[in-house]
Amino acid sequence: MKKHIDYYLLISVIIIGIFGIIMIYSASSIWAEFKYQDAFKYVRQQSLFFIVGIFIMMLTSKIDLNFLKKRANLILGLCFLLLILVLIPGIGTIRNGSRSWFGIGGLGVQPSEFAKLGLIIFTAKYLARNQKNMTDIKKGALPIFLVIGLFFLLIMLEPDFGTAMVMALTLIALIFVSGLKISFFVKLGVLGLAGIVALIIAAPYRMARIVSFLNPWSDPLGSGYQIIQSLYAIGPGGLLGQGFLNSRQKHFYLPEPQTDFIFSIISEEFGFLGVIIVCCFFFFIFYRMLKIALQASDLFKKYLAFGLAFGIFIQASLNLAVVVGLIPVTGVTLPFFSYGGSSLLISLISLGLVLNVSKK
Amino acid sequence: MFFSLIHERIRFVFIISIIILLAVIIKVFYIQVFAYEKLNTLAESLWSRELPIKADRGLIVDRNGEVLATNITTVSLVVVPGQIDDPQNVAKDLADILESDYQDMLKHVTKSTSIERVHPEGRGLDYTTAEKIDALGYDGVYLLKESKRYYPYETVLSHVLGYVGIDNQGLSGLELYYDEYLTGADGAIKYFSDGKGNKLELTEVYEAPTSGITLQLTIDINLQLAIENELDNAFAKYEPEQGLIVAMDPDTGEILAMASRPNFNSNNYQDYTTEVINRNLPIWMTYEPGSTFKIITLSAALEEQTINLFEDTFTDSGSINVDGSTIHCWKSGGHGTQTMLEVVENSCNPGFVKIGQTLGVDLLMDYIDAYGFGSKTGIDLNGESTGILFDPAAMGPVELATTSFGQGLSVTPVQQIRAVSAAINGGKLYTPYIVSAYLESETNSLIKKVEPNLTGQVISEETSSLVRYALESVVANGSGKNAYIENYRVGGKTGTAQKVENGSYLDGNYILSFMGFMPADDPEIVVYVAIDNPKGVTQYGGVVSAPIARNVLLSAIDILDIAPSKEGMAKEYTWLDKKYSILPNVVGLKKEEAAQALKNYKIEYSGEGDTVIYMSPSAGYYVAWGETIMLLLA
């Protein structure tokens, strides 16, 4: 057993983080200059979060995981409280149509991001405790699914479909890994599909997103706008890209290019080569984290490492799939790349916890 | 150990995740490689903005390359609203310089469009105005080169050339008919802009405009100037309502010159009424041709051999009774007994009624149809008229009689000149045309030459030579005397057509015409002159139009380099005319013998000696009595 943390993973994360910050600069400088007359506005904030995040990551890689395990219920309770609070007008603020933010000073905090983390810790603990009951659906699976469903509903009330999806998929994967019968997941899949249909009926704008994903040119200035602008960035990128800082789509064509669609700018400036590099980084990080999960001797740590690893990976995958037009626009950010303080912090905390698991 | 199930499932998830990543990579590969062309083109069109650069319109040149329509460069103002930071100030300064309304200018400057042309106040700016605007140095304010059509000869050939609108689009004449050839491909300055329309600091692409094709005409500008001059003189002298002259090469259908009065200046066509600028009389005007049409009747009868020009006779009593109607000859008392040649020379109406009767309705109308009357000639101009003929099925003896001498039907001048050309060129009917070649604008190299379009053989070469003979005789001995040119063989026919208004003939209001050609043995040019309602002159084509045609033919001698001939018919002189005689050959004679032979002429000697070794003009030409003959002695 190792005495040290996984340095490959640490170094990969630092490299990917620095690359992310460089791309934030390239993608955001035009917008930042236009909005704040300060081209470095976003990159400065993100760098600050990154440095703070690295410290917190090192911190979380050293804390006693058993303490975390003990306090899992409390953490989840706090997250639940925050999710309730953010829904109350006056406390939560609306950004991009979702009441999912606490505005603290100039910064924004998304409680759903923390809830995702809290729920992974809680579920890991629950699964480790109830390992023997997990074959029994009523005794083992149902209670945890009820908890997950409650959080899912709260996040959907904001509404933040993207985060809710990432969270649900992560926890389902975690429960899947714990050994629950395959037939259950098939039923869950059918139920999920029905749920998605229900959600679409409840809010028809989601249908427009799906149609626009199949044929973005059906509504080029409305629901298809983002994906068309994304394709206009990726396509002309070609094999080697337009070169660093040479994106054209960031010049007010792709809205807020430093957030959800930053991968388009990467594709535009670095081409297919850049895409391969980014995918390899995520693949490598995921691979190292799964390896840590496999090597962990403690069941809680094993589940924790897997849950955190899958959370980051599935979020990245969903973002990439949206940006290249494989699935409808869901509003998921790209970990380590998209601008956003709380998102970056949560990713680094997650990494810190996985590194923590890797120690022993 | 129970970990094994967990590990198995983790590895399963790992494999799924590899598949997801591969799907993303494959999709990106598809977008960047297979959809690259399409997306790149779409994106380029999204990013790029174009400032248009107007192409030069193709030149129009005459048959010798003289420029008849060209372009002068002007500057016009274009604004890109998205690049203008301070619209109020920009609008104010521009309005001040252009002396236009501030509010209008503000609308241009703030319009929500990518590129706005400041129209019309910003068009066709002169150099100093452009300098002032340039000196402002505002972003988003551009000065673009534009070309403006210019016709150096102004009113000359105006109806044929036509004119263009403010956007250089052809609106009439050749400018309209050949608009797609004359219009070049506009160029552009392409630059990349951001989503808000601001110019990006990326490379600008300059796409040079392509000039339109140069059109070379069959028109000879010198001959054109000559006919314009003749029309001007005729207008000064007779104050007619309208006038026209057309000159054509009978062997090809090439229009050598074409003019109308009233005319206009193509450079500022707006100053004229639409009637004036739209009526290109040689193709638009239809009227009774009168006696010039007798050429058609004559050629048909000669081809069908229903008359013998030299042996058949006709006795004209001054009128002829056709089916109860009396048709008078223009000469009261009549011409008496004439050969058919004399009928032609005298333009005797009853004689032509007789000729028409020998043909009958069907044959005569077949020839009229074969000569192309009643249908458009197909000349390369818009606005051609068709004319009106009697319906052969409804024609009685009276209609046959009047048609025979050119009354009761209406034709265009260009139909007539085409038909007469066929009658005298060996029977070949050509489509008249004005554009002879398409030339490349930069190098003047030939892109396409327009070949003469032969549409039919109307009469035989033998018949045609008889027609030429008869018409030469008309000029030498008959009603066309005023077109006679000494030492050149001129053929022709006068015409005096009454004008019809509201179905009845106007009194004392005639279109006086003359159809002339030379040389009469092998015509190189046919000229048709028509003067509508001249004042203060005998209302007869031989008096008004024949001298005009003669002057045009005189100009044509030099311009077309037509050789003199000694074989022409001698003119039959009246007491009014100067006496002409054939110059005898005195070369080789003694000085005294030569003086005796040239007693009707003044003689100037040069050189020392007693024998004539050279004379000028040389022997054989008609020279008026009293002219000076130079003799060189040795």
Q: What is the CATH number of the domain that holds B498?
A: 3.40.710.10
Q: Give the amino acid at B602.
A: K
B517: left (phi over 0), alpha (psi -120 to 50) or beta: beta
What backbone phi and psi angles, to 5 degrees, belong to B376? -65, 145
What's the domain range around A127? 7-359
Q: Considering CB atoms only, which of A177, A313, A325 is closest to B17?
A: A313
> DSSP characters for A258-279?
TSTTHHHHHHHHHHHHHHHHHH
- B519, B512, B506, B526: which is closest to B479 by C-alpha? B512
Those of residues 250-269 in A touching chain B at CB distance below 8 A are 251-253, 267
What backbone phi and psi angles, to 5 degrees, belong to B26? -65, -40
Q: Give the amino acid at A275.
A: V
Q: What is the DSSP letter of A37?
A: S
The β-bridge relationship of strands B214-217 and B435-439 is antiparallel
- Rounded mean pLDDT of A297-319? 94
Do B111 and B259 belong to one domain?
no
Rounded CA-CA distance A237/A290 in Å is: 32
Can you give the pLDDT at residue B203?
Answer: 63
Is B247 in a helix, a strand, or coil? Answer: strand
A2 in a domain, yes or no?
no
At A227-281, the pLDDT tens digits run 888 888 898 888 888 889 888 888 888 888 888 899 999 999 999 999 999 999 9
Can you give the pLDDT at residue A288?
Answer: 94
A305 in a domain, yes or no?
yes
B569 in a domain, yes or no?
no
CB B499 within 8 A of CB B533: yes
> Strand pairing partners for B192?
B48
Q: What is the DSSP letter of B280?
A: -
- Could you tell me the CA-to-CA distances from A165 to A116, A155, A156, A169, A317 in Å, in that order? 10, 10, 9, 6, 12
What's the domain range around B593? 580-633
Can you give the pLDDT at residue B442?
Answer: 85
Distance from CA of B88 to the nearest CA of A (A): 22
Can you give the pLDDT at residue A8?
Answer: 92
Do B240 and B386 belong to one domain?
yes
- B584, B281, B258, B249: which is closest to B430 by C-alpha? B249
Do B95 and B227 belong to one domain?
no
- A315, A299, A308: which is closest to A354 by C-alpha? A308
A331 in a domain, yes or no?
yes
Can you give the pLDDT at residue A257?
Answer: 87
A33, two tokens: 């200059």
Instruction: Look over chain A and give the mean of its residue pLDDT values, rounded to a whole number.
Output: 88
> Which chain B positions have a beta carbon within 8 Å of A237's beta carbon?
32
Asked if B194 lies within 8 A of A251 by C-beta distance, the reply is yes
Do B548 and B596 belong to one domain?
no
CB B86 within 8 A of CB B96: no
Distance from CA of B199 to the nearest CA of A (A): 10
Asked if B29 lies within 8 A of A272 by C-beta distance, the reply is yes
Query: A284 at the B interface (CB within 8 A)?
Result: no
Do B442 and B515 belong to one domain?
yes
B573 in a domain, yes or no?
no
> Structural domain tally of chain B?
4
A128 in a domain, yes or no?
yes
B566 in a domain, yes or no?
no
Q: What is the largest CA-CA distance in chain B?
A: 153
CB A268 within 8 A of CB A249: yes
Do B54 and B26 belong to one domain?
no
Interface A-B, measured as beta-carbon pairs within 8 A, has a size of 115
A307 in a domain, yes or no?
yes
Do B117 and B204 belong to one domain?
yes
The β-bridge relationship of strands B504-518 and B602-606 is unpaired
Asked if B36 lies within 8 A of A293 by C-beta distance, the reply is no
Is A117 in a helix, a strand, or coil? Answer: helix
Query: A287 at the B interface (CB within 8 A)?
Result: yes
Rounded CA-CA distance B515/B65 in Å is: 28
> Which chain A positions have a beta carbon within 8 Å of B6's beta carbon?
177-179, 302
Q: Which helix (H) or strand (E) holds A235?
A: helix A225-237
Indicate if the alpha-carbon torsion angle A129, A134, A135, A140 is positive or negative: positive
Do B86 and B11 belong to one domain?
no
Asked if A253 lies within 8 A of B5 by C-beta distance, the reply is no
Do B152 and B225 belong to one domain?
no
pTM greater than 0.80 = no
What backbone phi and psi angles, to 5 degrees, belong to A341? -65, -50
Q: Hey, how many other C-beta atoms are within 10 angstroms of the C-beta on B421? A: 26
B365 in a domain, yes or no?
yes
| Confidence bin at A107 (pLDDT 50/70/90) | low
The β-bridge relationship of strands B214-217 and B60-61 is parallel
Do B511 and B540 belong to one domain?
yes
pLDDT at A156 over 70: yes
Asked if A326 lies within 8 A of B24 by C-beta distance, the reply is yes
CB A186 within 8 A of CB A202: no
- Rounded mean pLDDT of A13-30? 93
Which residue's entry shows tokens 């249909």? A197
- Rounded mean pLDDT of A19-39? 89
Give catalytic residues of B, as residue numbers: 291
Strands (E) across B485-589 are located at 491-501, 504-518, 525-532, 580-582
B570 in a domain, yes or no?
no
- Residues in chain B, pLDDT under 50: 1, 575
Distance from CA of A87 to the nearest CA of B (A): 34
Rg, Å, chain B Cα set: 36
| Confidence bin at A208 (pLDDT 50/70/90) | confident
A112 in a domain, yes or no?
yes
B200 in a domain, yes or no?
yes
pLDDT at A126 over 50: yes
> Which chain B positions have a beta carbon within 8 Å of A293's beta carbon?
10
Q: Which helix (H) or strand (E) holds B190?
A: strand B187-192
Q: Which helix (H) or strand (E) holds B283?
A: helix B281-284
Mutate to test the interface with B, among A230, A247, A251, A254 (most CBs of B within 10 A): A251
- Could you tell me the CA-to-CA distances from B132 to A359, B121, B125, B138, B494 in Å, in that order? 76, 15, 11, 11, 63
Distance from CA of A342 to the nearest CA of B (A): 25
Asked if B10 lies within 8 A of A294 by C-beta distance, the reply is yes
Query: A103 at the B interface (CB within 8 A)?
Result: no
Distance from CA of A104 to the nearest CA of B (A): 32
Query: A220 at the B interface (CB within 8 A)?
Result: no
Asked if B194 lies within 8 A of A30 by C-beta distance, the reply is yes
Distance from CA of B436 to the nearest CA of A (A): 49
CB B568 within 8 A of CB B520: yes
Can you give the pLDDT at residue A1?
Answer: 45
Query: A326 at the B interface (CB within 8 A)?
Result: yes
> Structural domain tally of chain A?
1
Of B215, B246, B268, the last residue of a domain is: B215
Asked if A279 lies within 8 A of B24 by C-beta distance, the reply is yes
Order of strands, edge to edge, in the sheet holding B205-207? B48-53, B187-192, B205-207
Asked if B31 lies within 8 A of A324 by C-beta distance, the reply is yes
Query: A321 at the B interface (CB within 8 A)?
Result: yes
Q: Give the amino acid at B448.
A: K
Rounded CA-CA distance B261/B586 in Å is: 49
A215 in a domain, yes or no?
yes
CB A121 within 8 A of CB A72: yes
Those residues of chain B whose CB sits closer than 8 Å to some CB in chain A are 2-3, 5-7, 9-10, 13-14, 17-18, 20-21, 23-25, 27-29, 31-33, 35-36, 38-40, 42-44, 46-47, 192, 194-196, 198, 200, 202
